Amino acid sequence: MIRKSFLGLGAVALLTHAAAGWSADEELDTRFYVAPMASYSNYGEDSFDPDDGYGGQFSIGKNLTEHLALELYAFHFGSSDLDNVSNQAQASGGSEMDVTGYGLSALFFPARDVLPIFGIVGLGEGSHDFDNVFFPQGTGDQDSDFIDIGVGFMAPITDGGIAIRGEYRYRSSEVDAPTGGEFKFRDDVVSLGLQIPLGSKPQKSEPRRAAPEPQPKPAPAPAPTPAEPLDSDGDGVPDESDRCPGTPAGTEVDEVGCPAEKEEPIVLQGVRFEFNSAKLTADAERRLDNVVNALQASESIEVRIEGHTDSVGNAAYNLKLSQERADSVKAYLVDHGIAASRLNTKGYGETRPVAPNTKPNGSDNPEGRAKNRRVEMHVVDE
């Protein structure tokens, strides 16, 4: 027999869902409802050949989702005459059968909003009460199990949710026989009635609106830009601190606005290279030995080695050649014991001449170009 705990589990499921509320679809009516219906049963059991039965069904249920509802239900069919009991037992005063049951149904809605039909699967237990049917073992109120499979429809008739409800169930019943074994009933059950929601209809919820995007806080107003101190001669030193106002434009000045005393660069006289090359001549190497001695005597001094060319040839090539010649001097000094960290190099090509490369009439000026082909050393301030 199907245990009563199965039906209790269904009741717990309904009550738990009611307590939890409904959030997935606010448009679905999730109130509990009752469904009283009148029923007609066409019994299909051949052993007793019962007449058709009339009775009723009462359900209490709840929509769990758009596609599923669960119900607890009970039914009863009144006395139906049994026309074939002569071979089973002696009957006196006519034989009758009452049927009572209760169970749990699941209603499946394939498209509730489009087609108001549903499928039904039900399980339950009950009893078949046989009156005036006698067996040696006795008979009377016999326990039974049943399974329902069917279809139904609902048609709303009020705004409050009341609907006309109709069902067809094919009911398969297994009834305990007093002689052992079971009687089998295969019934066609048709029911018609109402489905009535309990409680007031929930208000239609407004669509949930997304929270507005937080607006960024306005950027604070920028602090007022302080007025630039007045610098009349444009040497970068404010007038209030300038001890030498009116210095010519482009003059390099010290921190108090006076012309800076610059150390003259050390021109490495006699440091020459092979033609169109960065390779030092033998005489140049001998002269660089003196530089090595001087740098070894003053170990705290750092110098920048600058390479320069005349204007003969391509400017880009001259820039590259001047860098290579400065690097060549550095390499010689490093090879003779001067730390590379004390030496920096920079090639300027033909951009910083110290003498004209041509004469005023436009002719070549060999003496001027010779002065421009040079290597200088600058002491780097600490």
Hey, which residues does 376 pair with through a beta bridge?
Answer: 267, 306
Task: Tell me the CA distances in angstroms from 229 to 234, 235, 239, 243, 359, one per residue in order.
Answer: 11, 12, 8, 15, 46
| 151 phi/psi in degrees, rounded to 5 | -140, 160
Residue 260, helix vs strand vs coil: coil
In the block, residue with structure tokens 């001047």: 322
Amino acid present at 234: G
pLDDT of residue 261: 61
Decide the pairing of beta strands 303-308 and 343-349: parallel
pLDDT of residue 61: 95
* Measured distance CA(56)–CA(73) in Å, rounded: 11
Return all residues near 109 (Cβ < 8 A) that are at least 6 apart.
66, 67, 68, 69, 117, 118
pLDDT tens across 128-141, in order? 887 777 655 556 78
Return all residues near 234 (Cβ < 8 A) that are at least 6 apart.
249
Q: What is the DSSP letter of 249?
A: T
In the block, residue with structure tokens 């860098």: 323
H/E stretch holding 62 reads strand 53-65
pLDDT of residue 5: 40
- The low-confidence residues of the chain, meaning pLDDT below 70, are 1-26, 45-47, 85-94, 134-139, 204-209, 250-252, 259-263, 381-382
**Residue 317, CB-side half-sphere exposure with 13 Å CA sphere:** 7
pTM of the predicted structure, to 2 decimals = 0.47
What is the per-residue DSSP string for 109-143?
-SSTTT--EEEEEEEEEEEEEEES---TT--SEEE
What is the per-residue DSSP string for 309-329?
--SSS-HHHHHHHHHHHHHHH
pLDDT of residue 182: 82
Is the distance from CB of 331 to CB of 278 less than 8 angstroms?
no
In the block, residue with structure tokens 């190099």: 345
* Measured distance CA(45)–CA(191) in Å, rounded: 20
In the block, residue with structure tokens 């071979």: 87
* Measured distance CA(148)–CA(172) in Å, rounded: 7
pLDDT of residue 6: 40
Amino acid present at 36: P
pLDDT of residue 265: 81
pLDDT of residue 15: 40
* Measured distance CA(158)–CA(155) in Å, rounded: 10
Residue 303, helix vs strand vs coil: strand
In the block, residue with structure tokens 């444009």: 234
* Measured distance CA(34)–CA(31) in Å, rounded: 10
